[in-house]
Amino acid sequence: MLAAAIQLTAGPDSGANFGAAVAAVREAADRGAALVVLPEKWLAIGGAQELRPVAEPIDGPLVERLRGLAEELGIDLVAGSISEGPGVAAAGGLRVVAGPGADGSPDERFFNTSLHLTPDGEIAAAYRKVHLFDADVAGRRYRESDAERHGREPVVSRLVRAPEFAIGMAICFDLRFPDLFRTLASGGANVITLPSAFTQRTTRDHWEVLVRARAIELGAFVVAANQTGVHADGSRSGGQSMIVDPWGRVLARADEDGADIVFAELDLGAVATAREALPVLSLRQPEVYERPVGDGLLG
């Protein structure tokens, strides 16, 4: 199966961002990709000021257009991530209800949500980002939790027309938390989709190391679509979107700068070979990891 990771820059004009994303998805499909992954927050990036104008529930018009695009092109589309607005939303049997805040008042923050849309135009799965980017990098403070809520559920979704491919869904900062990825592998994932907006600094120093590490640990493909360039809020993403095989080899990589699409064939035989050679998942000893730390002395 041919997979594609799309690299874009979310600028201040959400309409232009939408047009660029649709054009890139069409190009990927025209070039034969059956699985296409957009980056994180490709419609708008930033805090509440930038996200509020584009936030909507997953039964809203944005997702309706994306569902139609996936159906028209006959592809599985992991639609990067969108800002899912609070309230009650229902689509394809999925729903989310905004819960109370810490003080009991309604929580009006958004979810950072990645959707798997099928060639039939259905929503197969919705993953809400579990780990929010609250960090200080290169003199800039990032606090995603000011505008966004934590997701609470790992998600694995099978491709409808190729059910042997099971995608474990993650978003950006999740990459630093291997426990989530082990859970996805335990749930049957053999391909990880990773829409991202990694900062330029962390892309340069950490991105490839972490993407390859997750692929090696799980014996799975990773399709990692990153943003690039300067955004409306002044932040900068580092590009280098890539597809990595289960042995940790980089099959395709974009440059740091500029919009791009990278492609690679995903052969599940490579997953079987890697997991047979290094059966890490089956050799785990979870009962040991859960024990209190001791001194190792007998007696």
40 included as an active-site residue: yes
41 included as an active-site residue: no
Catalytic-labelled residue, pool 41, 56, 84, 172: 172
Report d(CA 256, CA 202) in Å as an integer: 12
Report d(CA 38, CA 25) in Å as an integer: 8
What DSSP character marks residue 175? G
Catalytic-labelled residue, pool 50, 56, 84, 129: 129
Q: Tell which residue, 114, 31, 104, 112, has the closest CA to residue 66.
A: 114
Pull the structure tokens for residue 187: 């749930």
- By 3-state DSSP, what share of the chain in percent is helix, strand and coil, each rounded to 5? 30, 30, 40
By the 8 A CB rule, do 174 and 180 touch?
yes
Catalytic-labelled residue, pool 40, 56, 84, 148: 40
Pull the structure tokens for residue 290: 């859960």
By the 8 A CB rule, do 17 and 10 touch?
yes
122 included as an active-site residue: no
Burial tier of 15 (Cβ tally within 10 Å: 0-12, 13-18, 19+): exposed
Report d(CA 27, CA 252) in Å as an integer: 17
Q: Tell which residue, 39, 46, 58, has the closest CA to residue 236.
A: 46
3-state secondary structure of 115: strand
Annotated catalytic residues are 40, 129, 172
